[in-house]
Amino acid sequence: MNYSETIQYLYDRLPVFHQVGGSAYKPGLDNTIRLMNALNNPHTRFRSIHIAGTNGKGSVSHFLAAVLQKAGYKVGLYTSPHLVDFGERIRVNGVMIEKQYVVDFVEQHQNLFAEINPSFFEATMAMAFNYFADCEVDIAVIEVGLGGRLDSTNIIQPELSVITNISFDHVGFLGDTLEKIAFEKSGIIKAKTPVIIGETLPETRSVFEAKAKIENAPIYFAEERIQVFFKEYKDHKMIVETSDNKTFVVGLCGMYQLKNIATTLTVIEQLNRLNFEISDTHLQEGFENVSEITGLQGRWQVLQQKPILVADTAHNAAGIQFVVEQLKTFTYNQLRIIFGVVNDKDISAMLALLPKEAHYYFTQAKIERALSAKLLQQKAQSHGLNGCAYLSVKQAIKSALLESSTNDFILIAGSNFVVGEALVYLKNK
């Protein structure tokens, strides 16, 4: 098999949550343990940082990877889902996993996959851990796939754990209250291992404190240790100041990044206590050049000017709320929003937050979980949102660009998969 055939094999052979939803979800560590044992436990051969949370875990993961890399460490980065290419999920020092490694790994372990029948995520995670061990990384930043307690990544014993925040998402799997969701996320807290909480709520703080007490794990709340304030935008980057009088230029724009920056700073503080050597210069270089260093896409990503076109992977109510607040900092003639969602989200909660003055281009990604553009349009109308339905992301973008003047603002949001298809189209058009 070549690379594209190998990726298609993984999709066809193994259940893929991001494509089909709940039928691909396999909670628990049994499959992971069997996979790791068969591979001689590669996850024990490198240090790691484990990151969970409803929103922000991707940004924090990339911030940390960038800063650690600038500090001279060889850094593995495991995140999901990918937006354009499978290789985005598995990187070492910002470089995607070698395509031949993917081909060879799958060919060598087809019998193992047939025996264990792992999910796509479990198999991909096994590949990532094996790759990081083979590459002899100094440390790997590991993003939780779903939840925490029963997520397959929870097999690792990290240097420290991070929980960025808690809000409603995947309630069918994680619970229908913030306390229940926090309980699942708190499952990554390990014995005597420091844990950093990025954002806390009255409903969740006690859950984290209780779990940390059981595990005798030092717990740190980023909000209580440092505050980060927006100063200005300059050259498509964000200037921020901290409560300890430091200034950073940050390559990821968006007010919602302030909490992610504070979380990252708190993590770095703890890493330095664990004998890492990370300076303010490393922080500045990592923050400013995070996208270039790690290859991150889709976080308030400016794709063109006049009209300005921005893509953001906000895909739940909390994420949409942050994006809507961000829009208020811009001046434009007409706001146009290209919007598509998957069918297992709290769609009404998202629609209720979107600005009614915008013109909408409702669309759908090419996956089974995508809510049809027509149905999304109908739901949106009940929230006072008006626009047309488009059967493809490409059609929605073409129409929005055609109808826009140079002073308009176009936002693409609602789903990782809509943003991913948008990036592919805009790159190739």
Query: Would you place residue 25 in the very low, low, confident or very high pLDDT band (cuts 50, 70, 90)?
Result: very low
**Quick check: 16 pLDDT over 80?**
no
Residues, the chain? 429
3 state SS of 231:
strand
Q: Amino acid identity of 228?
A: V
Q: Given this model, what pLDDT does residue 265 score?
A: 98
Q: Given this model, what pLDDT does residue 407 score?
A: 96
Smallest CA-to-CA distance from 139 within 122, 157, 152 is with 157
**Quick check: 17 pLDDT over 50?**
no
Distance, CA of 172 to CA of 140 (rounded, Å)? 30
Average pLDDT, integer, range 268-278: 97
**Quick check: 170 pLDDT over 60?**
no
Q: Given this model, what pLDDT does residue 280 score?
A: 96
**Strand 228-234 relative to strand 160-163: parallel, antiparallel, unpaired?**
unpaired
Exposure b/e, 362-389, CB count within 10 A at least 16 = b: bbbbebebbbebeebbebbeeeebebeb
Distance, CA of 217 to CA of 190 (rounded, Å)? 7
**Do residues 171 and 54 lie in contact, with contact meaning Cβ atoms separated by under 8 Å?**
no
Average pLDDT, integer, range 413-426: 93
Query: Would you place residue 345 in the very low, low, confident or very high pLDDT band (cuts 50, 70, 90)?
Result: confident
Distance, CA of 84 to CA of 421 (rounded, Å)? 7
Q: Amino acid identity of 122?
A: E
How does pLDDT run across 299-318, given as a tens digit for each residue?
888 899 999 999 998 888 88
**Do residues 313 and 411 lie in contact, with contact meaning Cβ atoms separated by under 8 Å?**
no
**Quick check: 267 pLDDT over 50?**
yes
* Ranges 61-70, 211-220, 254-263: which has the least confidence: 254-263
Average pLDDT, integer, range 333-362: 94
Query: Would you place residue 18 in the very low, low, confident or very high pLDDT band (cuts 50, 70, 90)?
Result: very low
Residues of the chain with pLDDT > 90, as a percent, come to 71
What average pLDDT does the structure give for the chain?
91
Distance, CA of 329 to CA of 52 (rounded, Å)? 29
DSSP assignment of 56-93: SHHHHHHHHHHHHHHTT--EEEE-S--SS-GGGGEEET
Phi then psi dihedrals of residue 332, to 5 deg = -155, 165
Average pLDDT, integer, range 374-380: 96
Stretch (H or E) spanning 197: strand 195-197
Q: Amino acid identity of 271?
A: L
Query: Would you place residue 175 in the very low, low, confident or very high pLDDT band (cuts 50, 70, 90)?
Result: low
Smallest CA-to-CA distance from 254 within 325, 188, 172 is with 325
The single-letter DSSP state of residue 375 is: H
Structure tokens that stand for 249 in this block: 């230029």
In order of start, what are the domains of the chain with their CATH numbers? Answer: 3-294 (3.40.1190.10), 301-428 (3.90.190.20)
Q: Looking at per-residue confidence, does 174 or 133 come out higher?
A: 133
Residues of the chain with pLDDT > 70, as a percent, come to 94
**Quick check: 171 pLDDT over 80?**
no
Average pLDDT, integer, range 390-418: 96
